[in-house]
Amino acid sequence: MIENLLDRQTIHPETAGMMACITHRRILVTGGGGSIGSELCRQIAGYHPKQLIIFDIYENNAYELQMELQFRYPKLDLIVLIGSVRDEKRVMTIFRKYRPEIIFHAAAHKHVPLMETSPGEAVKNNIIGTFHIASASDKYHASKMILISTDKAVRPTNVMGASKRICEMIIQEFSQKSRTDYAAVRFGNVMGSNGSVIPLFEKQIAHGGPVTVTHPDMTRYFMTIPEAVTLVLQAAAFAKGGEIFILDMGEPVHILELAKKMIRLAGLIPGQDIPIVFTGLRPGEKLYEELVIDKRHLNRTSNDKIFICQQEPIDIFQLKSKMKLLYHAAKEESSDMKWLLKELLPEYHIPEKEDTQIPLNG
């Protein structure tokens, strides 16, 4: 069980507020076929929404989820739509036709190394896509829009994290002028999600190793997919506009110790049956992640595991003007994308080009 890898108790939901937010409402989930999006759809379906709309670019994932939900919830009013959040006309058409009341925005590029080499795609999909969803939510008077964010948005050292912090800023900007309640949910790594370290370790162990760890001191916050979705749904119930919700995820996990634990759970001996190899930090990676810069800026909610991060007001004019520059640069495949991101987000640190490789260990 993935839960056995967590050195803390699993977080359980407070269902009353979640039911009030979801039941008999029209719900839209972007990126609904992904790891977080699909679990959102599963849990939302159990709270009897008036209608559940799944919007995803990947038809295979969306189709499989459609079949699953139709089998488990035969009375569910389910709409599955294919398209991209990058496509403004497509987004606006969907909002105009279906008028979703609650939007969970999970569509995003999330792989750190891939976005380092394709920064324009992070801008187009994450930043511009979020702007389109936020604009449509405002125009068609949605009740709430909840953005799925990440701990990598805190003092970002990579394009993915920087793009997600700008997405948070977009949410804050809209919350200052719209009747729609906008909020973001920020959490760490999700155990078992597509592309996460646990499925990778499982495959490496099944093949007899080696298990690859980037650095012996690397740590990450972890949560299970159901926990992540519980947080998102509870945040939707709490949201009043402009919040960034943060989960108390316990202590960060050492990736090396996680690898050893998984090897032992497979009945094998680390370093003997399965070698562990250190490969060096990948482009844009940190040794550790943060959920917030200063814990003194956290406010409690009625759930002792969920906090609200206080944020400075957003300069709307500056954000809009620099967003335009980013949009045109991404369309033109500009080689200056990272520096344009830094102009909009000064705390984004572009790592110097250096050899981050460290000696391999067996």
Q: Which residues are catalytic?
A: 152
Closest CA to 139 of 108, 177, 166, 167: 177
Give ∠ CA 353-152-228 in degrees, rounded to 5.
150
Give yes or no for a contact between 173 and 362, defined as CB atoms under 8 angstroms apart: no
Burial zone of 51 (CB within 10 Å; 0-12 exposed, 13-18 middle, 19+ buried): middle
Give yes or no for a contact between 163 and 126, defined as CB atoms under 8 angstroms apart: yes
**Residue 241 bridge partners (DSSP):** none
Give yes or no for a contact between 199 and 41, defined as CB atoms under 8 angstroms apart: no
Q: How far apart are CA 215 and CA 362, in angstroms?
A: 13
Tokens of 126: 């994450």
